[in-house]
Structure 1
Amino acid sequence: MVTGSRTCRPGWADLVLTGLVLVFVVGFTSAASRWQSEGESAAEPFRPLDALGYGWLVAAVLPLLLARRFPIVVFGLCSALAVTYYWSDYPGGPISVTSAIALFVLTVVRGVLPGAIAGGGLLVTLYVAHVVSTGNPVPTPASGALAGAAVAMVGIGAAIRARRAATRAAQDQAREHEQRLAEQERLRIAREVHDVVAHSLAMINVQAGVAVHVADRRPEQAKEALLNIKEASASALVDLRATLAVLRSGQERGPVQGLAQMDELLEHARAAGLTVRVHGRPGDLPAPTDGAAYRILQESLTNVVRHANQPSIVDIHFGRPGGRLELRVRDDGMGATPPRLGNGLRGMRERADALGGSIEAGPVDGGGFEVRLRLPVGGDGRDGE
């Protein structure tokens, strides 16, 4: 019940509008009453405004407080009070403005068709009453003025309604765009954090396993594995701090790693016991392409370490056929199966799609697994293998 009462409570705009209309109608009608009293003729007597007359005027204005919530009811009530007032003996005045404002609000709130039907219905009713009371089917000049006022109110209300609808559509579109940007930024942050953390943790996990396995029999090798863990964790902390610093600063991009730092990735893979062979070279690349290729190469090597079955050799092929970069990462693991769509593969595809490229990943003949990336970069292809 409390919620319903709050819903029906008029707002400040309703109070101000109703107050202004009330002052205008009562004040103008009072002045008109005095003017008509001074020039009154015996042929046109009228009843001076009294308590009933003032109450009538106030009753015709007050429904405007609820015009936005009950537009049809308010329009009907204001119109009925205005028409019956003009048929009374009280002096004329601008009480019809209440009906015009109610028709305007009705059109804004409910639309052109309801407003036109309501306005037309009022005009038809007045015309029928005129014909019945006078027997003259010819409309009076006042009828034409009323019709013009009704058309004007419906037209203005329709224009404002259309403008509000356009404004709401633009606001909805702006909010949708902001949400889309926020979602893209969230995915970008997730990719960056995943790439930074997953690779280093995979290498740390492998080296920790080596250290545990050889700790008793070959302490020197265990020590080497622990040093590799220390190096990998330090590198991960540096990368993670750099990523967090970018996020805190609000910058769109941080320092982008590229294939120029590829040797660090290769050393990590070799420290995990893999033989890494590089064929060809990537050549000069635009920064976005260079960064995406680096991250995809990093994720591919991480997946070899984490998921391949007893791999020993990883072949990395770079090419520039047809003005695009081609990167292939293939291992010689045994019994590779089609991959499940996890965070790593999803992130690689998102990076490739963002640059208009493509990526394929799956098992190959011989039991290994291959990731093939193609990114458009332009050029004549002379920088590759």
Structure 2
Amino acid sequence: MVSTLFVTLFVLGATTGASRWQPDVHRLDVFGYLWLLAAALPLMVRRRFPLTVFLVVAALTWAYYWISGYPGGPAVFLPTIALFTLTQRQGPVRAGIAGGSLMLVGFVVYLATGGEIFLDARAGLFVVWIVAVVGIGTAVRNQVTAVRASRERAVEHQGRMAEQERLRIARDVHDVVAHSLAMINVQAGVAAHVADRRPEQAKEALLNIKEASASALKDLRATLAVLRSGEDRAPAPSLRQMSELFEHARATGLVVRVEGSPGELPAPTDGAAYRILQESLTNVVRHANQPKNVQVRFDRREGFFELVVTDDGMGAAEPKLGNGLRGMGERAAALGGKVLARPVEGGFEVRAELPLQEGDS
């Protein structure tokens, strides 16, 4: 609205000034000013009705120049703005057709009212004017579209990254809580079972509970700090800490044997392997039927790091897909690896293959 008012005042003022150097034309009177106002005011709604506004403004401006006898001036800015807006809103094809059609109709009306056929610079000027305005409008339209698409892609990317971060934190919370609670549950059962007969063993179980709960609280506080601050301050899990997992498993009565060594791993692979190992040991404690032994094997082959966790629980069956198995699969798939969990002869096995090169997918 402000831009329309500014353009209207400019056209009225400039036309009034130009009339002083055009002695052979009618001086602007009230009707002349109203004519120019009638051509300018529709621009206020040009974004809502771009085609209609262009046709009205262009027709009134053409009539002002060719019929009214009033002095010339910068009234051509009015249809220029309308055609530019039409191009931006509805595209160059409709704008070009509208401009060409209006020029053709105006030429026919001009001839019908007694005008002479002319092929001078004025005819070419109309064509150049339409092509220039539509061309500039198209360029601006394409630029605006590109900027909008770029912003939408950026917003979509941020949303996708935020969703991935939420899933990562959810998996971390699940792994920490599930592992710690499973160990605490087993140790609490041991303490309750031997409290009267073997108080020393009950005390040891309670100390294990204290240690497991303290470790879980520490990890949870660090993980939840990410949600509060938005900064990546969560603990970085690593197989360098796997001895703690083995100690927790052994505290439940399991015999844990380790074959091979993980060695140095890329940080994403290292973190995913730690969480998969943690969840695998948790599942042995929670779901295996009277397991006694767990074997953990590390290996490398053909650009992949292999982690295998096997237990000797009795009557192992095909697992149901829960949060734990789903989380392991998501961690591996995010890196371009895979996880296979299945019953094997004499127990149950989790086999994870993770890429050794960062960025593999």
Q: Partners in 2 of 1:96 and 1:340 — Cα distance?
A: 75
Q: Partners in 1 of 2:292 and 2:121 — Cα distance?
A: 100
Cα displacement (A) at 1:140: 4.6
Which residue matches 2:15? 29
Deviations 1:337-357 (A, max 9, x none): 222332222222222223332
Q: Partners in 1 of 2:81 and 2:229 — Cα distance?
A: 53
Deviations 1:19-40 (A, max 9, x none): 2221221112212333223xx3
Q: Which amino acid counterpart does residue 19 of structure 1 have in structure 2?
A: L
Deviations 1:37-75 (A, max 9, x none): 3xx3xxxxx433221111111111111111111111111
Cα displacement (A) at 1:275: 1.9
Q: Which amino acid counterpart does residue 151 of structure 2 have in structure 1?
A: Q
Q: Partners in 1 of 2:265 and 2:121 — Cα distance?
A: 81
Cα displacement (A) at 1:92: 2.9
Q: How many residues in Structure 1 have an aligned counterpart in Structure 2?
A: 356
Which residue matches 2:158? 178
Alignment partner of 1:106 is 2:83? no
Q: Secondary structure at the match of 1:257?
A: coil
Check 1:143–1:343 CA distance in 2 against 1; reply closer, same or farther (3 A cut).
Answer: same
Unaligned runs of 5+ in 2: none
Q: Which amino acid counterpart does residue 21 of structure 2 have in structure 1?
A: W
Q: Which stretch shifts more, 119-128 or 273-282?
A: 273-282
Check 1:131–1:246 CA distance in 2 against 1; reply closer, same or farther (3 A cut).
Answer: closer
Question: Which residue of 350, 356, 361 maps to 2:341?
Answer: 361
Which residue matches 1:9? none
Q: Secondary structure at the match of 1:328?
A: strand
Which residue matches 2:36? 57
Cα displacement (A) at 1:152: 1.0
Which residue matches 1:333? 313
Q: Partners in 2 of 1:261 and 1:89 — Cα distance?
A: 92
Check 1:240–1:146 CA distance in 2 against 1; reply closer, same or farther (3 A cut).
Answer: same
Check 1:79–1:245 CA distance in 2 against 1; reply closer, same or farther (3 A cut).
Answer: closer
Which residue matches 2:240? 260
Alignment partner of 1:73 is 2:33? no
Q: Which amino acid counterpart does residue 51 of structure 2 have in structure 1?
A: I
Which residue matches 1:316? 296
Q: Partners in 1 of 2:115 and 2:216 — Cα distance?
A: 97
Check 1:314–1:65 CA distance in 2 against 1; reply closer, same or farther (3 A cut).
Answer: same
Contact kept? 1:362, 1:371, Cα under 8 Å:
yes
Q: Partners in 2 of 1:284 and 1:36 — Cα distance?
A: 88
Q: Partners in 2 of 1:18 and 1:246 — Cα distance?
A: 50
Which residue matches 2:4? 18
Q: Which amino acid counterpart does residue 309 of structure 1 have in structure 2?
A: N
Cα displacement (A) at 1:251: 4.3
Deviations 1:222-261 (A, max 9, x none): 3332222112111212222333445556543544332232
Contact kept? 2:223, 2:233, Cα under 8 Å:
no
Q: Partners in 2 of 1:355 and 1:93 — Cα distance?
A: 68
Contact kept? 1:127, 1:139, Cα under 8 Å:
no
Unaligned runs of 5+ in 1: 1-14, 41-45, 379-385
Q: Which stretch shifts more, 207-216 or 302-311?
A: 207-216
Q: Secondary structure at the match of 2:336?
A: coil
Contact kept? 2:222, 2:233, Cα under 8 Å:
no
Q: Which amino acid counterpart does residue 62 of structure 1 have in structure 2?
A: L
Cα displacement (A) at 1:335: 2.5
Which residue matches 1:348? 328
Q: Which amino acid counterpart does residue 342 of structure 1 have in structure 2?
A: G
Alignment partner of 1:151 is 2:137? no
Q: Partners in 2 of 1:322 and 1:76 — Cα distance?
A: 70
Q: Partners in 1 of 2:127 and 2:352 — Cα distance?
A: 71
Check 1:97–1:325 CA distance in 2 against 1; reply closer, same or farther (3 A cut).
Answer: closer
Q: Partners in 2 of 1:234 and 1:308 — Cα distance?
A: 25
Cα displacement (A) at 1:294: 1.8
Determine what percentage of the aligned residue pairs are the same residue. 62
- TM-score (structure 1 length as normaliser): 0.85
Q: How does 1:1-385 map to 2 (within 5 A)?
A: 15-37=1-23, 40=24, 46-86=25-65, 87-134=67-114, 136-245=116-225, 250-252=230-232, 254-366=234-346, 368-377=347-356
Check 1:89–1:245 CA distance in 2 against 1; reply closer, same or farther (3 A cut).
Answer: closer
Give the RMSD, CA atoms, in angstroms.
2.2
Q: Partners in 2 of 1:359 and 1:200 — Cα distance?
A: 22
Q: Which stretch shifts more, 246-255 or 110-119?
A: 246-255
- TM-score (structure 2 length as normaliser): 0.91
